[in-house]
């Protein structure tokens, strides 16, 4: 008699049905969901978000007090001396490009919007240096308009949770918009970012300390462990391959 076939792995519920319990667990873990960038108005948040590219929020927050004391309006930034602006934002990295984008962005604000930050995604993404990620940060935290911010953490966690297979940030955003209630877009983005920074790390996710481990299919996580096991150890003094 043939031996019985092994049990098939349990079938996952539709992604839409799995979002709510994950968000509830993350809400208990991170009850205060907000951007980590210190700001007093939409312009400051826009500038800080541009500076946050490939830089930590904490580092940006050490730079912006002096920056915002020196430049208070979009017109101030647009008319700034490039060398001085570069010096002020240098600790955030890629400072020449960031300073260039800030000046161009603020010049566009002055020219097209009277120096005010527009409150629509369609308008924000026309500004130099502003993509959908930056626009959604500004919309969600400056204008209380729901937006899904897809940074590296949100993209990674969305794939590990089995909510999407996409890697392109825009496609991840559009996929999440279909399964996450609109009123949760901003807060869930913040909580995924916090969880990605603290627990669901890129190379060594801390699944044993994860509050949503029982709700997560851990897509791709086993592959990470296998890669680490296959990686040869290098003796001290041995040249890199």
Catalytic residue among 27, 151, 198, 218: 151
- For residue 133, indicate whether it is catalytic: yes
Distance set, CA 232 to CA 41, 132, 224, 235, 241 (Å): 51, 40, 14, 10, 10
Is there a catalytic annotation at residue 100? no
Listed in sequence order, the residues at least 6 apart from 115 whose beta carbon sits closer than 8 Å to its beta carbon are 73, 74, 75, 109
- List 133, 141, 184, 187, catalytic entry: 133
Q: At what angle do helices 132-142 and 169-179 cross, to 10 degrees?
A: 40
Could you give the CA distance from residue 227 to residue 162 in angstroms, rounded to a whole number? 21
Contacts of 204 (CB under 8 A, 6+ apart): 224, 228
Residue recorded with tokens 């008699």: 1
Q: How many residues does the chain have?
A: 241
Catalytic residues: 133, 151
């Amino acid at each position: 008699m043939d031996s019985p076939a092994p049990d098939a792995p349990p079938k996952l519920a539709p992604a839409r049905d799995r979002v709510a319990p994950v968000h509830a667990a993350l809400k208990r873990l991170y009850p205060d969901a907000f951007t980590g960038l210190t700001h007093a108005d939409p312009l400051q948040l826009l500038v800080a978000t541009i500076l946050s590219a490939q830089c930590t929020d904490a580092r940006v927050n050490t730079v912006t007090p002096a920056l915002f004391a020196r430049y208070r309006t979009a017109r101030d930034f647009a008319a700034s001396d490039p060398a001085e602006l570069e010096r002020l934002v240098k600790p955030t990295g890629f400072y020449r490009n960031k300073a260039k984008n800030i000046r161009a962005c603020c010049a566009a604000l002055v020219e097209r919007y009277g120096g005010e930050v527009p409150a629509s995604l369609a308008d924000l993404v026309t500004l130099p240096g502003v993509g959908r990620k930056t626009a959604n940060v500004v919309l969600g935290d400056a204008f209380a308009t729901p937006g899904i911010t897809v940074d590296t953490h949100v993209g990674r966690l969305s794939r590990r949770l089995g909510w999407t297979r996409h890697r392109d940030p825009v496609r991840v955003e559009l996929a999440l918009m279909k399964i996450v209630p609109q009123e949760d877009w901003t807060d869930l983005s913040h909580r995924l970012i916090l969880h990605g920074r603290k627990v669901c790390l890129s190379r060594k996710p801390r699944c044993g300390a994860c509050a949503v481990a029982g709700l997560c299919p851990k897509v791709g996580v086993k592959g990470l462990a296998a890669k680490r096991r296959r990686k040869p150890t290098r003796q001290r003094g041995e040249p890199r391959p």
